[in-house]
Structure 1
Amino acid sequence: MTGLYVSPATGAAATGTVAFTPVPTVWTDTAGNQILAGSVEVTLDGAGEFSQALVTTDASGVEPTSGRLWRIEERLTGLPIRARHFALPTGDGSPISIADIVAADPGAVGYTPVEGPAGPAGPQGVQGETGSAGPQGEEGPQGEQGPQGEQGPQGIQGQQGPTGPQPSLGGQGAGDTIALRSTDILLAYKTADEQVASSIVLQDDDHLTLPVVANGVYALDAYLDVEADPAADITLGWSVPAGATLSWTETGISAGNTGNIGSLKQSRLDVATSSGVGIVAAGSAVRPAGVLRVAGTAGTLRLRWAQSVSSLTPTILKAGSWIRLTRIA
Structure 2
Amino acid sequence: MNTATRPLGEALASAVREQVIQAGAGTSSVRGSDWRMAVVATVGSDGTVVTTDGVTARRDESYVSPAPTDLIVISQASNGQWWAWGRGSTGGVAIGETVAVRKSASTSRASTATVSADPHLTMTLSPGTYLLDALLMYDADAAADLKLGWIGPASTTGAWWPGGADSSVAALASSPRWGALSDITTSTIPVGAVGAGTIMACRPVGTVIIATAGVFALAWAQQSGSATPTVLRGQSTLQMRRIA
1:252 maps to which of 143, 156, 164:
164
Contact 1:225 1:285 in 2 (8 A): yes
Residues in 1 aligned to 2:70 and 2:118: alpha-carbon distance in whole angstroms:
39
Q: Which gives a bigger RCO, structure 1 or 2 (Cα 8 Å, sep 6+)?
A: 2
Which letter maps to 2:203?
R
Residues 1:189 and 2:102 aligned together: yes
TM-score (norm 1): 0.46
Aligned with 1:202 (options 115, 136, 142): 115
Q: In the TM superposition, what is the alpha-carbon distance from 1:285 to its structure 2 partner?
A: 0.2
After superposition, the C-alpha distances for 1:177-234 in whole angstroms (9 at most, x for unaligned) are xxx97971100110011000011111110100122112x1110010000011111101
Q: Which runs of 5+ in 1 are unaligned?
A: 1-8, 17-74, 82-163, 170-179
Stretches (4+) displaced over 6 A = 180-183
CA contact (8 A) 1:167 1:181 kept: no
SS in 1 for 2:150: strand
Counterpart of 1:324, as a letter, is Q
What CA distance in whole angstroms lies between the structure 2 residues aligned with 1:232 and 1:78? Answer: 49
Identity among equivalent positions (%) equals 35
Say yes or no: does 1:310 pair with 2:222: no
> Is 1:77 aligned with 2:69?
yes
Q: What residue in structure 2 maps to residue 230 of structure 1?
A: 142
Q: Provide the rounded CA distance (Å) in 2 between the counterparts of 1:181 and 1:15.
A: 16
How far is 1:76 from its partner? 8.8
Point out the structure with max Rg over C-alpha.
1
Name the one with the larger helix percent.
2
1:76 and 1:256, CA in 2 relative to 1: closer, same or farther beyond 3 A?
closer
Aligned residues: 165
> Which residue of structure 2 lines up, in the alignment, with residue 292 of structure 1?
208
**Amino acid in structure 2 at the alignment position of 1:204:** A
Equivalences for 1:263-278 in 2 at 5 Å? 263-269=175-181, 270-271=183-184, 272-278=186-192
Taking the aligned partners of 2:154 and 2:126, their CA distance within structure 1 comes to 12
Indicate the larger mover: 225-234 or 181-190: 181-190
How far apart, CA to CA, are the structure 2 residues paired with 1:78 and 1:317?
40
Distance 1:280 1:225 in 2: 13
Relative to the length of structure 2, the TM-score reads 0.61
- Structure 2, unpaired ranges of 5+: 1-25, 27-37, 41-66, 74-82
User: Which residue identity does 1:206 align to in structure 2?
Assistant: P
Q: CA RMSD in A?
A: 2.8
Q: Are residues 166 and 279 of structure 1, via their aligned partners in 2, closer, same or farther at CA, if it must alter by over 3 Å?
A: farther
Q: Distance in 2 between matches of 1:213 and 1:181?
A: 9
